């Protein structure tokens, strides 16, 4: 099996009332961590800066334009690996990932934020309080970062 390396950016999207945006794949969606709740994010494309990649991923996955908001780097020490089937070729590969997590605080309470979820990425989403994270089946990187942040 071929190994590829990817830089992954992820957004801790918070509403003004302190809720965190979490999303989960549907049963037909191919992802690295199927069936797990996770934060928004994805791979940095060639020639793209991490902040630009994060803005693009958030827009693609949620419909939110976060250009006006501050993106604060929360953590850049995490790595991980997982098998994945590439969408374009169907090839199964081992993905070695380096994660860059950013915090973005929006200026509205959760119930006022309009989300246009990409059905190719996620089946559903919810805004959760930090204590609610313990009740969700989280992706391994989410568990790691939320533990580092003292949420779990």
- The predicted structure's pLDDT at residue 86: 81
Question: What are the E-state strand segments in the chain?
Answer: 2-14, 20-24, 37-38, 40-43, 72-75, 79-85, 92-105, 124-128
- The predicted structure's pLDDT at residue 98: 94
Averaged pLDDT, groups of 10, the chain, 152 residues long? 93 97 77 83 93 96 95 94 83 92 97 92 93 93 92 94
- Which tens digits make up the pLDDT trace of 88-124? 888 999 989 999 999 999 999 999 999 999 888 888 9
- The predicted structure's pLDDT at residue 83: 84
Q: Is 81 exposed, middle or buried (0-12, 13-18, 19+ CB in 10 A)?
A: middle
- For the chain, give every domain's residue range: 2-148
3-state secondary structure of 75: strand
Which of 135, 133, 134, 117 is CA-nearest to residue 125? 117
The CATH classification number of 2-148 equals 3.90.79.10
Which of 45, 49, 37, 91 is CA-nearest to residue 73? 49
Neighbours of 50 (CB within 10 A): 16
Structure tokens at 41: 């994010």
């Amino acid at each position: 099996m071929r190994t590829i390396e990817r830089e992954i950016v992820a957004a801790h999207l918070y509403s003004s009332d302190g809720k965190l945006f979490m999303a989960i794949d549907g049963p037909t969606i191919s992802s690295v961590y199927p069936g797990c709740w996770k934060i928004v994010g994805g791979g940095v494309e060639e020639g793209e800066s991490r902040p630009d990649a994060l803005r693009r991923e958030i827009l693609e996955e949620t419909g939110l334009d976060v250009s006006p908001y501050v993106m604060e780097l929360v953590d850049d020490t995490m790595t991980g690996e997982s098998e994945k089937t590439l969408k374009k070729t169907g090839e199964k590969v081992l993905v070695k990932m380096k994660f860059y997590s950013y915090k973005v605080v929006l200026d509205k309470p959760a119930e006022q934020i309009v989300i246009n979820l990409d059905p190719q990425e996620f089946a559903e989403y919810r805004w959760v309080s930090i204590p609610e994270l313990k009740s969700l089946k989280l992706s391994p990187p989410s568990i790691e970062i939320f533990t580092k942040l003292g949420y779990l």
